């Protein structure tokens, strides 16, 4: 930080030491609001102090940072008769330290919320742009393209048109301009202005949208939100068109107010609003028409279902197992070798992983991801050695993989290895799909597995695609069973089957 000018050095140091005067607060606020470069320097500086603070959810932290940077430096009254500046740079310093020191696991709202050590070279994708229709971008805002990925804190701001965004955990939102929206984590966003419609499938239950007045929490539903009025006192309306949501005000310590289909609430939080119902319905009609979003139940969650094992023993409880294709190609499960729990690394590994030079030496599967074994260009047997998660379906039905994602760690090495692949099959059947993820990249996957019988096994593996140098990966996916009248029972490759 020696390159910082003395003014910034003094302000940054005072903020992190909780020793800012009111004049310094205003000066730092103005500096950070006007200069993205200074904002980045400040976050980096605060990162040096991350060990001074405990972990909190990255979603709330990053949301607070962005909100405070853009909010006017007004003074408002708070309980107890005292007043405080809405812009709290001390709070921002703490938040920045937490942000740099920790990263929210994200992907799974059910049971999630734990923080893990941050790695600065993961892509960190939380959402993907799926549709852009006649969008007029705001001055200074980045123009987004279809399939462009979004990270936590990316600002989405436009004056007109329609934008569809799919969150990594599966919730889909349609924004109508003028709108100001920020994705927070794989199952949460913040709407500061504009209109939003959202649908959250069963695997994205708990999807949250923060607004200037309250937070809206999905409980398996379809809903719409509008944020308008004056910036200093926004007007927020929430209307539910299907299912149920929970509306939580900042001063509520327990459960918030429950709203059901046809009900709404004004920004005051205590008046039922029927006036916006028709507008909300029209906006939700612009959501994608995907029957599986509403007619499925989750039977397997790769992250949430994770369980540690018994030292040097395979996983024998529950519906999940972990393997590597030790003696044959991926796709021939009779030649797979089951992995054993290794407590020191908190992962499942091959029995012989300590033998240097073995094709499966680096194979491991842990809660967040893992690492494949050697590739066909390295292994003596000429095979790509996969890290494999296997799920046995509990009952007959039509099954799907939903909200699958894989990201590759950027090893920043000199070697030519730039790709890992993810593939799947059922029992000893054909490979259903194979997708590739390049260095520091991200790939999503989903699609039907077909009509399965109780006891059938779905194998999903990550391979080295020839060479295994620096192939650390993170991933997540859901196994869902279709329950509605419209079932996507086709198998990938059949005519009319959607891509996986």
Does residue 112 sit within a domain?
no
**Tokens read off for 268:** 């005051």
**pTM of the shown model:** 0.74
Mean pLDDT, residues 350-370: 91
The model's pLDDT over 461-472, given as tens digits with 9 standing for 90+, comes to 999 999 888 889
> If you average pLDDT over residues 370-399, what whole number do you get?
96
Q: Give the model's pLDDT for residue 31.
A: 79
Q: Which of 263, 269, 259, 289 has its CA nearest to residue 174? A: 289
pLDDT score at 277: 65
pLDDT over 70 at 185, yes or no: yes
Average pLDDT, integer, range 114-127: 62
pLDDT of residue 5: 78
Domain check: are 258 and 340 in the same one? no
CA distance 427 to 334: 9
- 63: pLDDT strictly greater than 50: no
Verify that 81 and 187 share a domain, yes or no: no
Dist. CA 247–CA 1, nearest whole Å: 43
Where a domain ends, among 104, 134, 156? Answer: 104
| Number of domains present in the structure of the chain | 3
Same domain, 234 and 334: no
Is the pLDDT at 122 greater than 50, yes or no? Answer: yes
The answer to whether residue 109 sits within a structural domain is no
* Co-location of 174 and 97 in the same domain: no
Residues of the chain with pLDDT > 90, as a percent, come to 52
Mean pLDDT check: name the lowest of 84-98, 209-223, 415-429: 84-98
For residue 305, give both structure tokens.
Answer: 């279902």
Average pLDDT, integer, range 211-222: 91
Q: Are 175 and 196 in contact (CB under 8 A)?
A: yes
> Residues 252, 323: one domain?
no
Q: Quick check: 446 and 403 in contact, CB under 8 A?
A: yes
| pLDDT at residue 9 is higher than 50 | yes
pLDDT in tens, 298-349: 999 999 999 999 999 998 889 999 999 999 999 999 999 999 999 999 999 9
Q: Are residues 242 and 320 in the same domain?
A: no
Using one digit for the tens of pLDDT, what is the confidence trace for 123-167? 889 999 999 999 999 998 999 999 999 999 999 999 999 999 999
Radius of gyration of the chain (CA): 24
Do the domain assignments include residue 12? Answer: yes
Residue 462: inside a domain, yes or no? Answer: yes
495 falls within a domain: no
Alpha-carbon span 108 to 460, nearest angstrom: 19
- In a shared domain, residues 135 and 250: yes
Same domain, 147 and 280: yes
Tell which of 104, 135, 150 closes a domain. Answer: 104
Q: Are residues 439 and 318 in the same domain?
A: yes
Q: Given pLDDT bands bounded at 50, 70 and 90, which one contains residue 107?
A: very low
Within this chain, do residues 279 and 319 fall inside the same structural domain, yes or no?
A: no
pLDDT of 256 above 70: yes
Res 32: pLDDT: 79
- Compute the average pLDDT of residues 40-61: 50
Tell me, yes or no, whether 146 and 188 share the same domain: yes
Query: In this structure, is residue 117 part of a structural domain?
Result: no
Question: What is the pLDDT, as a whole number, of residue 106?
Answer: 35
Tell whether 303 is covered by a domain.
Answer: yes
Q: 285 and 321 share a domain?
A: no
pLDDT digits (tens, 9 = 90+) for 405-425: 999 876 555 455 668 999 999
53 within domain boundaries: yes
Q: Using alpha carbons only, what angle is made at residue 52 by residues 48 and 57, rounded to the nearest 5 degrees?
A: 95
Mean pLDDT of the chain: 80
What residue numbers bound the domain in which 285 lies?
Answer: 125-289
Q: HSE on the CB side for 314, CA within 13 Å?
A: 15
CATH number at residue 445: 2.60.120
The last residue of a domain, from among 104, 138, 153:
104
pLDDT (tens digit, 9 = 90+) per residue, 260-293?
A: 988 888 876 555 454 456 777 788 889 988 888 8
Structure-block tokens of residue 15: 């903020």
Whole-number Cα distances in Å, 373 to 223, 332, 360, 378, 386 = 45, 17, 5, 10, 6
340 three-state secondary structure: strand
- CATH number, domain with residue 241: 2.60.120.1440
Longest dimension (CA), the chain: 75
Q: Which residues make beta-bridge pairs with 337?
A: 324
Residue bearing tokens 């005292």: 82
Among 434-438, 461-465, 490-494, the minimum mean pLDDT is found in 490-494
Two tokens at 69?
């940077």
- Tell me, what's the pLDDT at 271? 54
Which 3 state secondary structure label does DSSP give 363?
coil
């Amino acid at each position: 930080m020696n390159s910082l000018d003395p003014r910034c050095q003094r302000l940054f140091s005072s903020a992190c030491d909780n020793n800012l005067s009111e004049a310094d607060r205003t000066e730092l606020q103005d500096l950070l609001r006007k200069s993205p470069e200074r904002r980045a320097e400040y976050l980096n500086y605060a990162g040096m102090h991350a060990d001074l603070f405990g972990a909190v959810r990255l979603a709330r932290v990053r949301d607070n940072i962005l909100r405070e940077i853009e909010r006017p430096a007004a003074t408002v009254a708070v309980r107890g008769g005292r007043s405080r500046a809405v812009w709290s740079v001390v709070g921002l310093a703490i938040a920045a330290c937490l942000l740099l020191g920790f990263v929210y696991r994200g992907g799974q709202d059910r049971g999630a919320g734990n923080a893990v050590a941050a790695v600065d070279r993961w892509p960190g994708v939380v959402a993907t742009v799926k549709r852009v229709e006649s969008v007029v971008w705001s001055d200074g805002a980045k123009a987004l393209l279809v399939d462009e990925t979004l990270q936590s804190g990316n600002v989405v701001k436009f004056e007109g048109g329609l934008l569809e965004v799919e969150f990594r955990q599966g919730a889909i939102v349609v924004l109508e301009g003028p709108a100001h929206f920020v994705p927070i984590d794989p199952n949460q966003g913040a709407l500061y202005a504009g209109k939003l419609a959202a649908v959250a499938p069963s695997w994205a239950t708990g999807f949250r949208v923060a607004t200037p007045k309250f937070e809206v929490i999905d409980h398996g539903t379809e809903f719409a939100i509008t944020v308008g009025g004056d910036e200093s006192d926004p007007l927020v309306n929430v209307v539910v068109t299907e299912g149920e949501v929970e509306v939580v005000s900042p001063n509520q310590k327990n459960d918030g107010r429950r709203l059901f289909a046809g009900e709404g609430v004004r920004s005051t939080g205590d008046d039922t609003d029927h006036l916006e119902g028709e507008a909300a319905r029209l906006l939700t009609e612009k959501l994608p028409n995907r029957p599986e979003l509403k007619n499925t139940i989750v039977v397997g969650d790769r992250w949430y279902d994770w369980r540690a094992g018994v030292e040097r023993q395979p996983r024998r409880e529950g519906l999940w197992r972990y393997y590597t294709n030790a003696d044959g190609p991926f796709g021939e499960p009779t030649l797979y070798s089951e992995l054993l729990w290794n407590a020191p690394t908190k992962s499942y590994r091959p029995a012989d992983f300590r033998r240097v030079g073995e094709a499966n030496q680096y194979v491991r599967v842990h809660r967040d991801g893992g690492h494949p074994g050697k590739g066909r260009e390295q292994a003596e047997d000429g095979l790509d050695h996969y890290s494999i998660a296997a799920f046995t379906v509990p009952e007959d039905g039509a099954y799907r993989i939903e909200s699958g994602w894989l990201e590759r760690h950027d090893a920043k090495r000199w070697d030519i290895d730039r790709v890992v692949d993810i593939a799947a099959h059922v029992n000893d059947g054909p490979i259903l799909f194979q997708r590739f993820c390049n260095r520091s990249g991200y790939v999503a996957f989903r699609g039907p597995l077909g009509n399965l019988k109780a006891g059938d096994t779905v194998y999903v593996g990550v391979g080295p695609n020839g060479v295994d140098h620096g192939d650390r990966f993170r991933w997540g996916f859901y196994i869902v069973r279709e329950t509605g009248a419209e079932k996507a029972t086709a198998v990938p490759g059949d005519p009319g089957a959607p891509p996986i």
